Amino acid sequence: MAETADFADATELYNGTNSSFFVSGLQDGDYFLRLRTADGAQADPLVLEVRHQSLTQALWLALLGAIVTIAVVAAILRGARDE
Amino acid sequence: MNEGSAILAPMTGWILLALFSVLWIGLGIYWGRRNKTFEDHALAGRTVGLALGSATAAATWITSNTTMLAPQFALQLGIWGMLAYATASFGLFLFAPMAGRIRKLMPNGYTSGDFFRLRYGKGAWSIFLLFTLFYSLTWLVSMAMAGGILLNALSGIPYVWGMSVILAVCVIYTMRGGLAAVIGTDFIQTLIIIVGIVIVGFAVLSNVTIDEIHTNLAAERPALLSVLFPAAIMAIFNNLLFGLGEVFHNNVWWSRAFAYREGVGGKAFFIGGLIWFPIPVAAGFIALVSGVLNVPVPAADMVGPLVVVSVLGEIGAIAIFIIVFCSLASSIDSLLAATSDLVTEDIYRRMIAPAATPTRLKKVAQIITLGLGLFTWAVCIPRIGTLASVLFFAGPLVGAMIWPIITGLYWRSANRAGAVGGMLLGAGVGLVCYFAIGWYVASLIATAVSMVWVLACAWLSRSRFDWDELRESP
């Protein structure tokens, strides 16, 4: 896998007989992947585009989640007051 | 390691499966020998103490998801993902005070359905039954299916055989022993899971240092260490609220609140939460080690077993097999017992045969357990992989029930319009968001919408509920 199309900075992800490989935790950007057989034949490069979700949307949802959760905790800890 | 090969010899897998099957069935028959009535069978005579109570709360919540999906969460969403999964323990912590309240208000109660029927009437009760049966059956099917798939991946035992054996074992001991057998086996399963996870954790840590893990992640998977990883941030509260909804509404947890001896419920659920909390953190941590150990991961859901086997070899494979088997059994048995009690009490007793004797009810509960087992088996046979993901649809349904339950237990002003509207509006909007935005917002939006509606109805309400209406005679 490389971050440039000419594979100048390529690193080996896996060497073996598995038919799949799980990739995660990459930052935003385009990544280039290439398969090579044992006898040296190479497949055409595959471009992997990583675009994370909107951070603003995530923070708004986290704020909503915090409000709802605090309300739940408060309602339970406050208990029944009108008995 | 090749992805196509199992990590344990099939013969070893069969021997382990046979040993644990005999153990659980034997214990189920032994613990169920004193059960005479429905109350003995469904609620273990309402005399469960603190040690068994804490262990069963933790064990039931340790599903195969905890040991297999928590590493997947960590590998996909990083440190936040691992903590997001661990927030499911809040369900047990917050249910602790509610359990005491439930026992006090409903000393003769059997199910969470009883609460909805007596508190909000038959309309809300019907919606609750629809939502909870959907959730319980999809959870049951997903667990049984996961059992077959995992035993196959770990030991090469054919999917249908693994799924059938684990389901049959749980059905047999739950039918014979009822909740007493479920709680007793949960106690042993909890001990096995905790010891297994501790051994695995120390073995992994003796092979790598925290510095090495950090350096590897920073170089190869930097987003997993990011504090501002958007998908992980969104998962935190969604997962937390999904967990709250699951625990607050489901009869798996209510039946325990009714079964614990008076004064035990609050402590047992709190201790259960404390026992549970570190398990997904430890399981998730194992996934983050895969890079530094050079373990190739073909699919995210297999990262846990692959790392353990690379560190501990065949001993690790045996440990993972036993942990997975115990995690599955401790959840499948609880779901079978609680769902059969719900159907027996809420459908058979309340709708079909109100005059049924306690002995007859116990017999019906056993037949329903068998029926649930057969239904689950039939659905699991085709191995439709996408079926397990249906469980995620349940997120908005259970999230929408949180506020009707909390306010119904604590506020006299909570009313029928609030409960019915909260459940329908919350679930509806949540499901729309599930498809329009994604699973990671569905439970959160459903809970928020339901909260606004329920609170508005309570504030505008002039009616005040009489708590004595929840004290139905047995």
* Model pLDDT for residues B152-201, shown as the tens digit of each residue: 888 889 999 999 999 999 999 999 989 888 888 888 888 888 888 888 88
pLDDT value at position B64?
Answer: 67
* Distance from the A2 Cα atom to the nearest Cα atom in chain B, whole angstroms: 12
Residues of B in contact with A16 (CB under 8 A): 2, 296
List chain B residues with CB under 8 Å of A68: 237, 241, 444, 447-448, 451
Instruction: Report how far residue B103's alpha carbon sits from residue B207's, in angstroms, rounded to the nearest whole number.
Output: 48
Answer whether A70 touches B (CB < 8 Å): no
B418-425 average pLDDT score: 98
% pLDDT > 70, chain B: 97
Is the pLDDT at B1 greater than 50? The verdict is: no
Q: Is B447 on the interface with A (CB under 8 A)?
A: yes
Is B350 near chain A, with CB under 8 Å?
no
Give residue B414's pLDDT. 96
Q: What is the ipTM metric for this complex?
A: 0.88
B179-215 in b/e burial notation, b at 16+ Cβ within 10 A?
bbbbbbbbbbbbebbbebbebbbebbeeebeeeebee
Burial (CB < 10 A; 0-12, 13-18, 19+), residue A19, is exposed
Residue given tokens 């992805």 in the structure block = B3
Measure B134 CA to nearest chain A CA, in Å.
Answer: 24
Bigger pLDDT: B375 or B61?
A: B375
Asked if B97 reaches chain A (Cβ–Cβ under 8 Å), the answer is: yes
d(CA B117, CA B122): 5
> How far is residue B138's CA from residue B144's CA, in Å, rounded to a whole number?
10
Of B94, B413, B464, the CB nearest to A72: B94
Whether the CB-CB separation of B461 and B453 falls below 8 Å is answered with: no
| Amino acid code (one letter) for B185 | T
Burial class (CB in 10 A: 0-12, 13-18, 19+), B350: middle
In this structure, what are the phi and psi dihedrals at residue A30, rounded to the nearest 5 degrees? -105, 135
Taking only Cα atoms into account, the Rg of chain B, rounded to an integer number of angstroms, comes to 22
Q: pLDDT over 90 for what percent of chain B? A: 56
Residue B119 has pLDDT above 90, yes or no: yes
Query: Searching chain A, which residue's CA lies closest to the CA of residue B238?
Result: A65
Q: Do B448 and A68 touch (CB under 8 A)?
A: yes
What pLDDT was estimated at residue B3? 43
Q: Does B293 reach chain A within 8 Å, measured CB to CB?
A: no
Which residues lie below 8 Å from residue B241, measured CB to CB, with a gap of 6+? Answer: A65, A68, A69, B399, B402, B443, B444, B447
Mean of the pLDDT values across residues B132-144?
A: 90
Tokens of B388: 């397990």
pLDDT digits (tens, 9 = 90+) for B277-330: 988 888 888 889 999 998 888 888 778 888 888 888 888 888 888 888 888 888
Mean pLDDT score, B351-368: 92
Which pLDDT score, from 0 to 100, does residue A27 have? 92
State phi, psi for B43 to the nearest 5 degrees.
-130, 20
Could B444 and A54 be called an inter-chain contact, meaning their C-beta atoms sit closer than 8 Å? no
User: What pLDDT score was predicted for residue A81?
Assistant: 72
Cβ distance of A16 and B2 shorter than 8 Å? yes
Confidence of residue B386 (pLDDT cuts 50, 70, 90): low
Instruction: Identify the pLDDT of residue B139.
Output: 86
Measured between alpha carbons, how far is B128 from B245 in angstroms, rounded to an integer?
12
- For chain B, which residues make up each domain, given as ranges? 10-391
DSSP letter at B382 equals T
A46 three-state secondary structure: strand
The beta-carbon neighbor of A58 closest among B101, B233, B451 is B233
Q: Tell me how far apart the alpha carbons of residues B108 and B39 are, in angstroms, rounded to a whole number.
A: 10
CB contacts of A71 in chain B (<8 Å) are: 451
Helix B303-342 and helix B64-86, axial crossing angle in degrees, nearest 10: 100
Q: Is A44 helix (H, G, I), strand (E, B) or coil?
A: coil
Angle of CA points B275, B78, B293, to nearest 5° = 90
Whether residue B238 lies within 8 A of chain A, CB to CB, comes out as yes
Segments in chain A below pLDDT 50:
none
Please state the rounded mean pLDDT for residues B10-30: 92
Q: Got the DSSP string for B138-197?
A: HHHHHHHHHHHHHHHHHH---HHHHHHHHHHHHHHHHHHHHHHHHHHHHHHHHHHHHHHH
Q: What pTM was estimated for this model as a whole?
A: 0.89
Do A61 and B222 count as a contact with CB atoms less than 8 A apart?
Answer: no
In one-letter notation, the amino acid at residue B50 is L
Find the distance separating the first CA and the last CA of chain B, reported in whole Å.
58
Q: Are B154 and B320 in contact (CB under 8 A)?
A: yes
- Cβ separation A25–B78 shorter than 8 A: yes
Name residues 49-78 of chain B within 8 A of A (Cβ).
Answer: 75-76, 78
Q: What is the pLDDT of residue B103?
A: 93
Tell whether B433 is within 8 A of chain A (Cβ). no
User: Which residues in chain B touch residue A52, judged by CB atoms under 8 angstroms apart?
Assistant: 223, 229-231
Residue B411 has pLDDT above 80, yes or no: yes
Token pair of B16, please? 């382990």
Which amino acid belongs to residue B294?
N
Residue type (1 letter), B265: G
Mean of pLDDT values over B424-434: 96
| CB contact A76 to B (< 8 Å) | yes
pLDDT of residue B389: 66
Output the pLDDT for position B44.
Answer: 85
Set of chain B residues whose Cβ sits within 8 Å of the Cβ of A53: 230-231, 234
- Return the top range by mean pLDDT from B42-56, B182-196, B229-243, B417-431: B417-431
pLDDT at B385: 61
Homologous superfamily assigned to B10-391: Sodium/glucose cotransporter (1.20.1730.10)
